[in-house]
Structure 1
Amino acid sequence: MVLETFLVILGKYHGSLHICSDSISFNKYYSNIVASIFLSPFCLVKVTVLKGKHLCIIYLAKFCPVKLYILLSFIMNKRDDARQFMKFLHPDLELPERSYGADCRIYTPENPSSSRFKNVYETLFDEFVVAHIFGWCGKAILIRNQPLLWVLSIGFELMEFTFRHMLPNFNECWWDSIILDFLTCNWFGIWAGMHTVRYFDGKTYEWVGISRQPNIMGKVPCCVKRTLGQFTPAQWDKDEWHPLLGPMHFVQVLSLCIVFSTVELNTFFLKFCLWIPPRNPVIVYRLILWWLIAIPTIREYNSYLQDRKPVKKVGALCWLSLAICIVELLIGIKFGHGLYPKAMPKWLVIFWVSVGVALVSFILIWSWKMLRCYGKKRR
């Protein structure tokens, strides 16, 4: 009944509006129409493993990936049309990328005495320093496993080194990449995120009624605490990944790392292709949206890995998040045609081919040994 009423109102809304002839207005209008029609039954679907104290957070977790997927589908036009379409989100576009590796000197004696450490100062007070810390804090809350987080951290630094010939953003100095990013920002973000997880881990809450507080000074913090508590999970579970449990388990955890790194790389490639400057809030909106999507997705995937049933399946949010990642990747490939004149160095291609061959060989040898042990036990 609710869905039928919604569609009737939507029909009247459709008839009362004028459809613009240009493709940008067409895409903007129909993305909202299709999203509304598709999301109305989707928000009524039963939640799988995600549990919270308030249903609106659960529905928001299901709403975000569908809306993002539909918006991405409508961006897949021509590159110039997509850039114009992005201006509906924010008009401040078409700013050049910054290269962090133009001058890697720590000390510049030719500058005045007050700015001889100008390169370090500009890098240290760059907006990406804060983004690194908050980003890795959020990733730690998602993954909740310190060794896996350090694998992701090392992997992303390798990705930056691999694609530095394509993106000016990745052209960093050695001290910026190793000392500032890896050993400082990433470490502090992971430390803060893991401490947040440990603080909430196994913690029980006994909510006391506001009327039972002795005075007004006690009622206000209690009211704020109860209100904010509605937006936290019902419980904080430990996510045990165990990548060395077996070859198949190793491949499954490795797949998570690959998808996770691809989502991060898509941020920089889409920013470059669509002319989005680093300080534009569209980037922050996308990252927050992806973080909200990743909360139930990673929880579903971890439950899938920990499930010992002979027949099991991956949750719907996992498949939807994978589809969004693939669509973003395809957009980056399509719009990036002709934007990267420099080819990847041959030694770098040989390096990654060697890593791939070594990884496949390791998994095959591991699987063969596991099968031999299993065969001996059966005898």
Structure 2
Amino acid sequence: MEEKDYGGSCLLQDHERPDDPYHNIKDKLDLFVPLHFFGWWMKTLLLRDWWLCWVVSVMFELLEYTLEHQLPNFSECWWDHEGTGEADDSVLPEGWTPATASRVGRSQVATFRWIMDALVCNGLGIYCGLQSLKYFSMKTYHWRGLWNIPSYRGKLRRIIGQFGPYVWIDYDWKPLSSLGRWFSVLALVAMFLLAELNTFYLKFVLWVKPGHWVNLVRLIFILPWGAVALREVFQFLDDPDITKFGRQSWLFLSIVCTELLIVIKFGWDTVTIPFPRRRSDRQTTLLIYGLDQAFVRDSDISPDLGF
């Protein structure tokens, strides 16, 4: 099944279509643009940590750069990404030539990516999520029986509130408190990113259209499951009296791993596409720099293996 082309013709204004010169923008700014915003609003309510939200957000943008050779869906326009990398007139800003693009450099073009995705969509979603957390944590709750609420509207709000947490607390993951805690948070981020990638890989290898209802149903179900699982993981890391993961954590881990196995089984030809040489060199350099900063230059991490 042919994927929607987000990185093809990227002209802001198409003079060959005087009836609809901005059709490229309308076509590419589809349902997934507001989903960026609302998705990160909900993810912030799950993670409840400003630092961790931004780590996951930036890491996923880097994964999109890294894996766009496998998933065409990750290749986007210059005003939302650096595109597929071919310096031709069809993917350059209006008035640019391939020589101009080479002179300016791909890194400057890629800046639009961080403005549109990481800062605007993801950043606003994280901000609204944090404000929602402040509102819910300070709100006064009156816990009473359903039939003691006089109005139907109040009864409806009470029923909806039944599916929310008993109390809203901020999660302080403390990744630098110990070496064991550091690796635990790294594993948490890895599983979170894997669940995100499964969304795109599943619909690609199983030939599911982006607008199909099954994609939305999966996201609707995985959100509350992930909320409970993250609460159990935080309790396991933060409470010394808890010595094992909760059932929802194991269930969610099983779901994510099963999705990964499905992707490998039905999309082996996709996941084994080798990395381009230039991109592989950049990722290796970034990894070495990150390890150097984390383990060689940073002495704040305690050698204690405790959680």
Compute the TM-score of the two structures, normalised by the length of structure 1.
0.64
Q: 2:23 corresponds to which residue?
A: 118
* Contact residue 176 and residue 301 of structure 2 kept, 8 A: no
Q: Match for 1:224 among 147, 152, 156?
A: 156
Q: Match for 1:151 among 55, 62, 67?
A: 55
* Contact residue 11 and residue 24 of structure 2 kept, 8 A: yes
Q: 2:248 corresponds to which residue?
A: 317
Q: CA RMSD in A?
A: 2.8
Q: 1:56 corresponds to which residue?
A: none
Q: 2:166 corresponds to which residue?
A: 234
Q: Partners of 2:139 and 2:55 in 1: how far apart? A: 28
* Contact residue 236 and residue 243 of structure 2 kept, 8 A: yes
Q: Which has the larger radius of gyration?
A: 1
The Cα shift of 1:364 comes to 4.1
Q: Partners of 2:146 and 2:203 in 1: how far apart? A: 48
The Cα shift of 1:346 comes to 1.3
1:108 is aligned with what amino acid?
D
Q: 2:280 corresponds to which residue?
A: 349
The Cα shift of 1:192 comes to 2.2
Superposed CA deviations along residues 65-86 of structure 1, whole A, max 9, x for unmatched, are xxxxxxxxxxxxxxxxxxxxxx
Q: 1:104 corresponds to which residue?
A: 10
Q: Partners of 1:334 and 1:294 in 2: how far apart? A: 24
Q: Partners of 1:341 and 1:363 in 2: how far apart? A: 30
**Structure-2 change in CA distance of 1:263 and 1:207 (3 Å):** closer
Q: Partners of 2:219 and 2:135 in 1: how far apart? A: 24
Superposed CA deviations along residues 103-157 of structure 1, whole A, max 9, x for unmatched, are 1222323331x52222222223x01112212211110110011221111111111
Please tell me whether residue 190 in structure 1 is matched to residue 146 in structure 2: no
Q: Match for 1:169 among 54, 68, 73?
A: 73
Structure 2: gaps (5+ residues): 82-112
**Structure-2 change in CA distance of 1:210 and 1:104 (3 Å):** closer
1:232 is aligned with what amino acid?
G
Q: Partners of 2:40 and 2:193 in 1: how far apart? A: 13
* Contact residue 107 and residue 117 of structure 1 kept, 8 A: yes
The Cα shift of 1:366 comes to 6.7
* Contact residue 96 and residue 277 of structure 1 kept, 8 A: no
Q: Partners of 1:370 and 1:145 in 2: how far apart? A: 19
Q: Which structure has the highest helix share of the two?
A: 1
Is 203-212 or 136-145 further displaced after alignment?
Answer: 203-212
Superposed CA deviations along residues 46-71 of structure 1, whole A, max 9, x for unmatched, are xxxxxxxxxxxxxxxxxxxxxxxxxx
Q: 1:38 corresponds to which residue?
A: none
**Structure-2 change in CA distance of 1:108 and 1:341 (3 Å):** farther
2:126 is aligned with what amino acid?
I
Highest relative contact order (Cα 8 Å, sep 6+), 1 or 2?
Answer: 1
Q: Partners of 1:238 and 1:371 in 2: how far apart? A: 23
**Structure-2 change in CA distance of 1:265 and 1:369 (3 Å):** closer
Please tell me whether residue 132 in structure 1 is matched to residue 132 in structure 2: no
* Contact residue 249 and residue 305 of structure 1 kept, 8 A: yes
**Structure-2 change in CA distance of 1:207 and 1:222 (3 Å):** farther
Superposed CA deviations along residues 194-241 of structure 1, whole A, max 9, x for unmatched, are 22221111433125778888xxxx723322232322222211121111
Structure 1: gaps (5+ residues): 1-94, 375-379
**Structure-2 change in CA distance of 1:127 and 1:211 (3 Å):** closer
SS class of match (1:304) = helix
1:162 is aligned with what amino acid?
T
Q: Match for 2:190 among 258, 263, 266?
A: 258
The Cα shift of 1:361 comes to 4.3
The Cα shift of 1:283 comes to 0.8
Identity %: 36
Q: Partners of 2:256 and 2:77 in 1: how far apart? A: 29
**Structure-2 change in CA distance of 1:305 and 1:344 (3 Å):** same
SS class of match (1:166) = coil
Equivalent pairs, count? 272
Superposed CA deviations along residues 272-316 of structure 1, whole A, max 9, x for unmatched, are 11000000011111111211210111001111222246x833333
Q: Match for 2:236 among 304, 312, 317?
A: 304
Compute the TM-score of the two structures, normalised by the length of structure 2.
0.78
